[in-house]
Structure 1
């Protein structure tokens, strides 16, 4: 029995090693200034900076995965955001994945997070820093009853809403991804200023955390920016269309079906080869 368990664990480790991308095998960032190369879902990170595992108002979770590296702009942003949240007495914020030491592609788990300009922040917000043992065992706290498409009232509070608002109000932020139900909840809340809601974009899967995406740093020539979000707060038809009960208006005009174009294979920017091998 013991031999079977050990054999199984060895096979699992070998399988993970074989499946790992070259980027997942690199354990240290490259030398030089911080630079995001390519697009959020097809790029890499040169001169990645490490987010300290604990600081004012935050802790990094799952640090054993080594995904706490980012563009220097992201590291500064996160530290400032957490310091602000601490001043507002929101609580101790748990930071999840940012990027690997040199960014790049994951074998699973993320399509983006490749340039050090994306970061996941959990919506479980403890009042105080977790002990080392608690930090290893803490689990995610869902904010959404996904099956019934509604907010979990006992888990959601204004501190989650305020943290998202605080992040989205920063000029450095391009987008924030949350589950459509969380966006719906934010839209129902009375805010003095609502401009920041434009950046909060509905996306399935983000029911226990929110995903912050920064703009390309000013003056960057290697980073590919994303098209700005549509005008408005995104709280109308666009948001409603995500609901499983949404019924699209019936179109009476003639619809011509267009054959979808084949999906193009993503080719990494040549500079990323240099980053990986340096």
Structure 2
């Protein structure tokens, strides 16, 4: 067990620190204590992934730097507060559905740490990054969250909720809000964003997104009958994502064919046809 006198440490660092910005950062004993707690406990099983992510963000937000694990996962920093807003905002389709600390008894189907990882592809997109930069230039960053980025994610998941209402009212019975569904759908969200941008749309609206998701309305997400039900891990998440792409291709969405044949997915023509057969089955059984 380690005891830390955070106030004394903060005072001592302020004495030797140079620069007002540095002193401002370390003068907060809570920030110092949080940093020490994270460093000491980051590998401990008792500290769950979502809580670690929140701690990392809070340390990062105070301006404390030099912690390798935080530097390595800096890509998460704009995503974590965005996911928090998705959980808290009254107009969010995911309001109250994200488990911010991985507490099992809360009955919230989505773990914050999982949802953060599922959004990496979207936040890595240069066009999506441009939305944040534009919001920064226009002063539309609130609580470290880009208004335009948040708007798009809310719109995407609003359409998801509209198409698969039962998955939101009975999340345990469907895969939509489970890890595999979140990965597949958020990876698809990155594609939909790029397709819309190619058509000159800066921030896709519900109607723009619906054009790409509506063909999936009949897709079987039920945990007992879905072709995705037996899948697991990252390999399973990728297969689920490709199955959604294949379903869109079966339904005649032209942009998808290019994606299926991309070097990124590394699929042979035979594999693509196999996924289309699987997707057709999922659409028929709904």
**TM-score over 0.5 for the alignment?**
no
TM-score (norm 1): 0.31
Higher relative contact order (CA 8 A, sep 6+): 1
Question: Greater strand percent: which structure?
Answer: 1
TM-score (norm 2): 0.30
